[in-house]
Amino acid sequence: MSTTIDESAAEEALGEAEFRERLRELPPSAKLVAKVLETDAPLSQGQLAEESLLPDRTVRYALNRLEESGLVGSRYSFHDARKQVYFLNN
């Protein structure tokens, strides 16, 4: 039996200091999207664009950067299975 921890599970359990350190390296748009998710998660990409007042393309870029850093997770929406909703992994 293996005792290794799955990498995605480790990323989900980020501490506050590690979360802030990873966020510090990202562009301002990603920081704004993270701040919006901090208060109103889970949100779809369209809802994030509406709440942050950023263009859709900028929100998409920010979400990609946040996902690459392991700061944001996604799942399909319970209300509309065609859409994904995003949430913070802290």
pLDDT above 60 (res 2): no
Q: Would you state the pLDDT for residue 90?
A: 77
- For 45-59, the pLDDT digits (tens) are 999 999 999 999 999
Least Cα distance to 63 among 33, 21, 23, 43 occurs for 33
Instruction: Summarize the confidence of residues 29-58 as an average pLDDT.
Output: 96
Q: Whole-number mean pLDDT of the chain? A: 87
Least Cα distance to 48 among 81, 86, 16, 88 occurs for 86
Strands of the sheet with 72-76, listed across from one edge = 43-44, 84-88, 72-76
